[in-house]
Amino acid sequence: MAAILGGISLVSLIYVIWLAYTAGGNVKQSYGFAGMFAALFSVTGFIISVYSVRQKDWFKIFPILGIVFNSFSLILLVIILELAWQL
């Protein structure tokens, strides 16, 4: 579940960044809304991943993938917000 949330978040962020780039920086409000949902998915997925890794008798590959995907997504969001703050 956490890996799926991280994948959805990462793909949606990359897609929104690409749409904003092709629009020349003139973005719609729906792009920001998608970014906020991606942030919500990332935080939720990260919490679920950390909880799943700490449990015993579970496969560890998917929670670790969830941590990686959600971390990349959160780092990308921080970079976007920092660049927006610089403008």
Mean pLDDT of 70-81: 91
| Domain annotation covers residue 38 | yes
| Domain annotation covers residue 24 | yes
Q: What's the CA gap between 25 and 17, in Å, rounded?
A: 9
Tens of pLDDT, residue by residue over 10-63, are 999 999 889 888 988 788 888 888 888 999 999 999 999 999 888 877 788 888
Burial class (CB in 10 A: 0-12, 13-18, 19+), 63: buried
Residue for token pair 């749409």: 19
| Domain annotation covers residue 87 | no
Between 32 and 69, residue with greater pLDDT = 69
Helix (H, G, I), strand (E, B) or coil at 64: helix
Tens of pLDDT, residue by residue over 1-11, are 888 989 999 99
User: How many distinct structural domains can be found in the chain?
Assistant: 1
Domain that holds residue 43: 2-81
| Domain annotation covers residue 86 | no
